[in-house]
Amino acid sequence: MLSLGYGAARRMRNLSIGVLALAGSAHAETVTIAALGDSLTAGYGLAQDEGFVPQLQAWLDDQGADVKVLNAGVSGDTTAGGLSRVAWTLTDDVDAMIVTLGGNDYLRGLDPAVSRANLDGILAAGRDAGVAMLLVGLKAGGNYGPAYKEAFDANYADLATDYDIPLYDGFFDGIRAAAGSQDQFGAYMQPDGIHPNKEGVAAIVAALGPSVLALLDGVD
């Protein structure tokens, strides 16, 4: 659901784009989505056509969507890194943004409150730019204790509510569903146990793809 603030910003951003109607039909422009993330988005350890963005692009093409997905993933990036580059990621031709950040914050044990503030800044930039947004959550493990996990996991749901944007709860949910059990989870991961392999990305995209299609419906 889009807030009034989002709709107003989007309408102002699109004042210069008109809709060309000829013989009762309209010309729809290709929707451009920026995928802002870290190595999970960038496609770390994979061939060029095996990463998250190219597999998502292929999946959307197969669904007949007129969309271009831009790879704005930087390996090793934290939420702070995403915040530092979101302004130049959101160029005038970007219509929507997928945000998948926080994994490196968790791996480094950064304060969830700091991660939340950075994600808040990223989403505020997207709102101000008038782009449709999809926030993709990540689930922390229990190695920093239950209080850390609770605070980290809650960041995504709380911010999605604050900005009235859709949340895809867990980036790795598609792998969990495909694996069926924790014993089989490793078959979809690279040897480092952190990054998905080609088959893992395919499972992630198959599960996440419908949420991206729904995001396109929110683009004016």
Q: For the chain, which residues make up each domain, given as ranges?
A: 4-217
- Give the C-alpha separation, 32 to 69, whole Å: 6
pLDDT for 6 equals: 45
Does the pLDDT value for residue 48 go beyond 50?
Answer: yes
Q: Which long-range contacts (CB under 8 A, 24 or more apart) does 107-112 make?
A: 107/194, 108/78, 109/144, 109/148, 110/78, 112/148, 112/151, 112/152, 112/154, 112/155
Q: Whole-model pTM? A: 0.86
Closest by alpha carbon to 54, among 214, 198, 216, 219? 198
Segment 4-13, tens digit of pLDDT: 444 455 545 5
For residues 139 and 170, the answer to whether their CB atoms sit within 8 Å is yes
Sequence-distant (≥ 6) Cβ neighbours of residue 7 within 8 angstroms? 220
- Give the C-alpha separation, 35 to 205, whole Å: 13
pLDDT for 19 equals: 36
Query: Residue 178: how many CA atoms within 13 Å on its side-chain side?
Result: 20
- Give the C-alpha separation, 39 to 101, whole Å: 9
> Average of pLDDT values for 30-52?
97
Sequence-distant (≥ 6) Cβ neighbours of residue 15 within 8 angstroms? none
Segment 55-112, tens digit of pLDDT: 999 999 999 999 999 999 999 999 999 999 999 999 999 999 999 999 999 999 999 9
> Average of pLDDT values for 130-158?
97
Sequence-distant (≥ 6) Cβ neighbours of residue 20 within 8 angstroms? 26, 27
User: Taking the domain 4-217, which CATH number applies?
Assistant: 3.40.50.1110
Q: How do strand 67-73 and strand 31-37 relate by DSSP bridges?
A: parallel
Does the pLDDT value for residue 133 go beyond 90?
Answer: yes
Q: Which residues are catalytic?
A: 39, 192, 195
pLDDT for 2 equals: 43
Q: What percentage of the chain carries pLDDT values higher than 90?
A: 84
pLDDT for 13 equals: 52
pLDDT for 71 equals: 98
Residues paired with residue 69 on neighbouring β-strands, in sequence order: 33
pLDDT tier at 16, thresholds 50, 70, 90: very low
Q: Which amino acid is at 182?
A: Q
